[in-house]
Structure 1
Amino acid sequence: MKKTALTMAVAAALALVGCTTTSTPSQTTTSTVAEVSQNQDFTDFSAQFIEDMWRQYPEHSLYVGYGKYDHIMTIPNAESRASSVAFSQAKLRELRSFDLNSLSDNQKTDYYLIENSLERRIWEVKKFKDWQWNPSNYNISYGFASILNSRFKSDEDKYKAVLERLKYVPDFYQAAKNNINNPTLEYTQLAIAQNQGAFAILKDDLLDKVDASNVLTANEKALFKTRFVNAKTAVNGYIDFLTQLEKDLTTKGNARSFRIGEELYEEKFAFEIQSGYTAKTMYEKALTDKARVTKEMVKLTDQLWPKYFPNKARPSNDAQAISQLIKHLSVNHVPKEQFVDEIKRQIPLLEKFVIEKDLISLDPEKPLVVRETPEFMRGFAMASISAPGPYDAKENTYYNVEPLELRTEEQASSILREYNHWILQILNIHEAVPGHYTQLVYANKSPSLIKTILRNGAMIEGWAVYTERMMLEEGYGNHEPEMWLMYYKWNLRVICNTILDYAIQVKGISRDEGLDLLMNGAFQERAEAEGKWRRATLSQVQLTSYYSGYREIYDLREKQKEKLGKDFDLKAFHEEFLSFGSAPVKYISQLMQ
């Protein structure tokens, strides 16, 4: 089949030879054949690269639904790290044997994505070294949960894969303990909480189900029980190890700082965001946009003030006036007990609006399930999406929401004011329709598996942020000034994510300064601001992905509008943009133009 495809491609290319007058037919023929051959060679390399990558990193293959290596767990020791570096170096040599100028535009993008991925892995092992100071890297819950939650695997496949994986758990956690050296206190505490969540996956009723099933032999069931007990002992041992470590770090005060500094931050930004801008430039852009958005909020406050405070003078201080109005409006929210139900109720309404406005095609066969965030994933974000990969695209997409019942009344009340009547709708646009859920469904359909697998977080988050404004521009919310005010508040949070992250990691601002930026500069509730501060201590660069991706997507759309004029079609723009998988926006922009 490959030879036939190549022959047909060469024939098609040769048919164009007569159109050129700049070289002789023989020269053009030789050049064209070489180029087509190079294209096919790169296609073959890409396919083999993906297969080799799954063999090298079986956990990653599990997360995208590949299935072939679900029973394997990598032990995170010095040997596996050396193997990862050697693999990356060998693949880089293969990759760089291709002549970039001979590749198609689509293939050039894949080339850059592969190159970035390989260079990043080497950098993470040899320079960033978070395998030493981030204990939350080590958690066996995700793999087991992915297998057991599958809608399409049989019980036999599930239990046999789990049986095999269980044997690795003791060695996995022993390697983790050997790796940890001078960790941050924040990552240590997160690792304790999230590993305790493993018992929500490895719970005793799993043993009962296995014992009652007919898919394992009596010997396999006995082995399952032994390995299950050993795995739980290993998890508990890791938690005990970290608990003692936490005490030592707290009493001695010698924990590593969670701030990584400018050099590492710029390098991590370049690998993760791939925007063409430096982190410092993006930080400066965010400062400019913060001032612009605040001005828009002043205008809306002037418009709405007489409606809500007819007998009260507006404060002369703009920030105070905005804050008072937002606080007044934010009491309009659902009761705590109805929070998750309200999210479920809104999803069909968003789908209806998108369909009626013909903004983008939706796939009714890809289910979205709203659920409480699993215990092993809690403590990082209030809401998130867990989407299937390209190999198991028919699996459920989960909209994870942290339950408010676990919060104090004061915390829950603050969260509800933050996710009030208007902002909860914007959150659902972002996480679900037409945000993350919709984009990730499209990503799984991309003809380039490289662009889907080596996905770019800034494009993914940027798309979700872009859709918030796009929906309001198209009339969602009936152009209510209240909705626009709350949108700008939400957008200001996106902008301040970038400012906060850079300021924490590079400039070293204090917790009080960070909370002041979020609460007084971005009008956030205390619970939200404290949660964001915590999140910023548990990640680097990721918080900048929202703003940087959004800025580039919005700018691209406006350029396309200007270029095409009356021929510009919003739905066509959306669907072409999403057709390139989750590639960095700068590459999608090149392909579209």
Structure 2
Amino acid sequence: MKKIFLSLVISTIVFASCKTESKEEKSKISVPNIAFNQLLNDYNEGKLELNPINATSTGDNRFNDKFPNFLSDEYALKAKDFFTTYKIKLNEFPKDSLTESQQMSKAILAWDCNMMLQQMSFKNDQLLPINQMWSINLKVGQFASGSSAQPFKTVKDYDNWLSRLNQYNIWLQSAKKRMQQGIKEGYVLPKSLIKKVIPQFKGLAKVEKTSEGVKDFSKHLFYTPINNIPESFSKEDQKRLIVAYSEMLNDKLIPSFKSLYEFLKEDYLAAGLESSGIDAIPEGKDYYNHAIKNYTTTTMTADEIHELGLKEVARILSEMKKVKKQVGFDGDLKAFFDYVRNNKELMPYTKPQQIINNFNAIHDRMKPQLEKLFDNKPKTDFIVKQTEKFREASASAEYNPGSLDGTRPGVFYTPIPDASKYNVFSDEALFLHEAIPGHHYQISLTQENKSLPAFRKTLWYSAYGEGWALYTESLGKELGLYTDPYQYFGMLGMEMHRAIRLVVDTGIHAKGWSREKAIQYSLDNEAESEASIISEIERYMANPGQALSYKIGQLKIRELREKAKKELGDKFDIRQFHNQVLETGCIPLALLEDKIDQWITSIK
């Protein structure tokens, strides 16, 4: 879902250390420690200044003209000093001086600092700054489209973006230098990923020309704000901005895009790795172990996760066979996968808007049932959009949060490269995951929670965040969905997709699997199209460990629900359980388990 730059997906160092105080040890302090709250506020402000892109994404517009060079040595030193300083400052506040809520905030802040410092101990972020799916240049492209978080309503907004682009251009040039350094030190992307990045920069390096041979910037992504310039601007401002944006493209951005494009297709591709896993680069094995902790917030090993994945794949396959039998398909399961992939009846649309309308219709069908499972719903609105063309070919469906103040809605993006080939068999489960009650409920309720300190409103623990969204896919029947066996099969398919991730991610990065072996394993065990599977496998290659978080988190939340239901019996209220999971925001799984255990005890 969310792609948070500079590793804001954080985790615990050791699972055992993340337990909050027991009932007997709980702080008896009921009045919040003012000095500690100030520390939390200062930390949040400092992080926004360190990463103004994240600030803009949350709707904080104070830094919209800033784009620090994340790849510079100076920035690395500044960031290291920041997290080290706050890690030390936390020691000034003993647990018995803090309320229970503050104790949780202290634990989370400590993990944040520790994991950020661990991330910076590796060279990956600096020497592998660009990939086909996760890197910050893609976020900037979204901003440039004018339909994302960067505002283009006032003259100052337009000037802010020009200032930001000036600094972004420096980053682009630094990215090339860092990748050249990466070639020398052995930090290079696999060839298959480089081949997906090259077209992205090829498109950005291209300039259309008029019939007279004059450069025409009007069709360039980064000229979009000028195409949509408000008529309320004065003629003088309009003329000045048109000239400034044209010069920005002509003199700076397009030359940088062209330089990167030529470097990528020549030198970088030639140096690209034939292998697929992160273990092929220096310290790759250590980095993957860090990534596992980072994304799962557990101490599970790659071997343990791989074995868990194999067991889950086998369990879900048995459920899929039941659906195959239900619809009367006579062939084997692999043949059924092909049948579902290619069934034209499951590809009923010809226009992207029809697909958008279908997602909205799913929402309408489930609305009457939401009250049975949730008594706390977000105020922030949400909309469904087609993924922007410049990144659609290699994108997955995703959710982008609304602004902290709720004025900008959350957006569920769905890629639709060809509407006539869009298969709807998993759309109900996809909506539950990305929109309601998945990411939209989870993130919006956190952002709207006035009792949480600001820094916790934008944290992202992938095991919790993606685990919740995957868990919500299983709520479909309770919400009046999955009446069509193909939609239920779609849910099983999406769960299988996440189970397969446990196998192929660990396979690629810890067991020497090739890209082709991972693709074939996916084709053998799920109904996704080959093109979609290839995109997914390459996604895992670009961001090791992230794919593990979904199933690990889902299984923990499901386990906690069953535990609460068993121990509370008639006192169990599913709405209250969901409140308990959601109310404290995104937290590591061990903290969540401890919280649910305390809730069960309080009810009993």
Q: TM-score, normalised by structure 2?
A: 0.79
More helix by share: 1
Is 2:555 the partner of 1:556?
no
Per the TM alignment, residue 265 of structure 1 is displaced from its structure 2 partner at its CA by: 0.9
Per the TM alignment, residue 143 of structure 1 is displaced from its structure 2 partner at its CA by: 7.5
The CA distance in 1 between the partners of 2:523 and 2:195, in whole Å, is 25
Which residue number in structure 1 is paired with residue 94 of structure 2?
99
User: Cα–Cα, structure 1 residues 206 and 251, in superposed 2: closer, same or farther, change >3 Å?
Assistant: closer
Per the TM alignment, residue 557 of structure 1 is displaced from its structure 2 partner at its CA by: 1.1
Q: What per-residue deviation string (whole Å, max 9, x for no partner) do you get for residues 206-248 of structure 1? A: 3466595536965x96477336523554332333233332333
Which residue number in structure 2 is paired with residue 387 of structure 1?
401
User: Cα–Cα, structure 1 residues 360 and 232, in superposed 2: closer, same or farther, change >3 Å?
Assistant: farther
Per the TM alignment, residue 429 of structure 1 is displaced from its structure 2 partner at its CA by: 1.7
Q: Is the 8 A contact 1:63 1:146 kept in 2?
A: no
Is 2:277 the partner of 1:282?
no
Which residue number in structure 2 is paired with residue 508 of structure 1?
512
Per the TM alignment, residue 319 of structure 1 is displaced from its structure 2 partner at its CA by: 4.0
How is 1:7-406 mapped onto 2 (pairs within 5 angstroms)?
Answer: 39-76=33-70, 77-100=72-95, 102-136=97-131, 137-139=135-137, 141-142=140-141, 144-145=143-144, 149=148, 154-180=153-179, 181-182=182-183, 183-184=188-189, 185-195=191-201, 196=203, 203-204=222-223, 206-207=225-226, 213-214=232-233, 222=240, 225-226=243-244, 228-231=246-249, 233-249=251-267, 252-255=270-273, 258-261=276-279, 262-301=285-324, 303-304=325-326, 308-309=328-329, 314=330, 319-320=333-334, 323=337, 326=340, 330-338=343-351, 340-358=353-371, 359-361=373-375, 366-390=380-404, 392-405=405-418
Q: Which amino acid aligns with 1:356?
A: Q
Report which stretch shifted further, 289-298 or 250-259: 250-259
Higher relative contact order by CA 8 Å / sep ≥ 6: 1 or 2? Answer: 2
Report which stretch shifted further, 339-348 or 63-72: 339-348
Q: Is the 8 A contact 1:188 1:246 kept in 2?
A: yes
The CA distance in 2 between the partners of 1:112 and 1:147, in whole Å, is 38
Q: What per-residue deviation string (whole Å, max 9, x for no partner) do you get for residues 504-524 of structure 1? A: 111121233112211112243
Q: Is the 8 A contact 2:356 2:386 kept in 1?
A: no
Is 2:436 the partner of 1:433?
yes
User: Cα–Cα, structure 1 residues 188 and 110, in superposed 2: closer, same or farther, change >3 Å?
Assistant: farther
Which residue number in structure 2 is paired with residue 443 of structure 1?
446
Report how many residues are paired. 539
Q: Is the 8 A contact 1:194 1:375 kept in 2?
A: no
Query: Aligned Cα RMSD in Å?
Result: 3.3
The CA distance in 2 between the partners of 1:72 and 1:117, in whole Å, is 23
What residue ranges of structure 1 are gaps of 5+ in the alignment?
1-21, 23-30
The CA distance in 1 between the partners of 2:448 and 2:230, in whole Å, is 39
Per the TM alignment, residue 473 of structure 1 is displaced from its structure 2 partner at its CA by: 4.7
Is 2:460 the partner of 1:455?
yes
What residue ranges of structure 2 are gaps of 5+ in the alignment?
1-23, 206-216, 280-284, 599-604
Which residue number in structure 2 is paired with residue 424 of structure 1?
427
The CA distance in 2 between the partners of 1:251 and 1:74, in whole Å, is 28
The CA distance in 2 between the partners of 1:368 and 1:521, in whole Å, is 33
SS at match of 1:96: helix
Q: State, as a whole percentage, how many aligned pairs show the same letter.
A: 20
SS at match of 1:337: coil
| Structure whose CA Rg is larger | 1
Per the TM alignment, residue 467 of structure 1 is displaced from its structure 2 partner at its CA by: 1.0
User: Cα–Cα, structure 1 residues 374 and 517, in superposed 2: closer, same or farther, change >3 Å?
Assistant: same
Which residue number in structure 2 is paired with residue 518 of structure 1?
522
Which residue number in structure 1 is paired with residue 584 of structure 2?
580
Q: TM-score, normalised by structure 1?
A: 0.81
User: Cα–Cα, structure 1 residues 213 and 554, in superposed 2: closer, same or farther, change >3 Å?
Assistant: same
The CA distance in 2 between the partners of 1:221 and 1:92, in whole Å, is 50
User: Cα–Cα, structure 1 residues 462 and 197, in superposed 2: closer, same or farther, change >3 Å?
Assistant: farther
Q: Which amino acid aligns with 1:563?
A: E
User: Cα–Cα, structure 1 residues 95 and 216, in superposed 2: closer, same or farther, change >3 Å?
Assistant: farther
SS at match of 2:547: helix
Per the TM alignment, residue 492 of structure 1 is displaced from its structure 2 partner at its CA by: 0.9
User: Cα–Cα, structure 1 residues 269 and 106, in superposed 2: closer, same or farther, change >3 Å?
Assistant: farther
Q: Is the 8 A contact 1:511 1:533 kept in 2?
A: yes
SS at match of 1:544: helix
User: Cα–Cα, structure 1 residues 173 and 444, in superposed 2: closer, same or farther, change >3 Å?
Assistant: same
Q: What per-residue deviation string (whole Å, max 9, x for no partner) do you get for residues 116-154 of structure 1? A: 322333333331423212324352725744877569874
